[in-house]
Amino acid sequence: MNVAYWIVAALLAAFYLYAGGIKILRTQEQLRPMMGWVDRIPMPVVRGIGTLEVLGAVGLVLPPLTGIAPGLAVAAATGLVLVQIGGIAVHLARGEARMIGLNIVLLAAAAAAVWLGTTWL
């Protein structure tokens, strides 16, 4: 279980560091080709989502790595589950049901991290 958690956590952390980082650093015009939904969401909210994603990525890795409050990894994974539920809701509200595939994969991976984290942390 330990190895499985680290594989899932590392993949999720890499993805969310990138995805969250670009939401924090790029302008609305730069994000629009990749994320059409940024037109409907105020940029402070987009930046907040990016910040939550980066914090979630750090929370998946840092607490178990340091041994300080490793239960926070489960909280971080749970937060990423909620981020993906919100992402699915936004896509469905925009009529983009065909675009939720990645959201579902990330949701399943974050849920797996929650489950793996509760079994060995």
Which residues, other chains included, contact 32 with Cβ-Cβ below 8 Å and sequence gap of 6+? 38, 39
Cα–Cα distance, 20 to 5 (Å, whole number): 21
If you average pLDDT over residues 85-104, what whole number do you get?
A: 94
If you average pLDDT over residues 92-118, what whole number do you get?
A: 95
Cα–Cα distance, 106 to 110 (Å, whole number): 6
Residue 116 DSSP SS3: helix
If you average pLDDT over residues 93-101, what whole number do you get?
A: 92
Q: Is the pLDDT of residue 96 over 80?
A: yes
Q: What is the pLDDT of residues 7-36, one digit of tens each?
A: 999 999 999 999 999 999 999 999 999 998
pTM recorded for the entire structure? 0.92
Residue 64 DSSP SS3: helix
Q: Is the pLDDT of residue 100 over 90?
A: yes
Residue 96 DSSP SS3: coil
Which residues, other chains included, contact 102 with Cβ-Cβ below 8 Å and sequence gap of 6+? none
Q: What is the pLDDT of residues 25-81, one digit of tens each?
A: 999 999 999 998 998 899 999 999 999 999 999 999 999 999 999 999 999 999 999
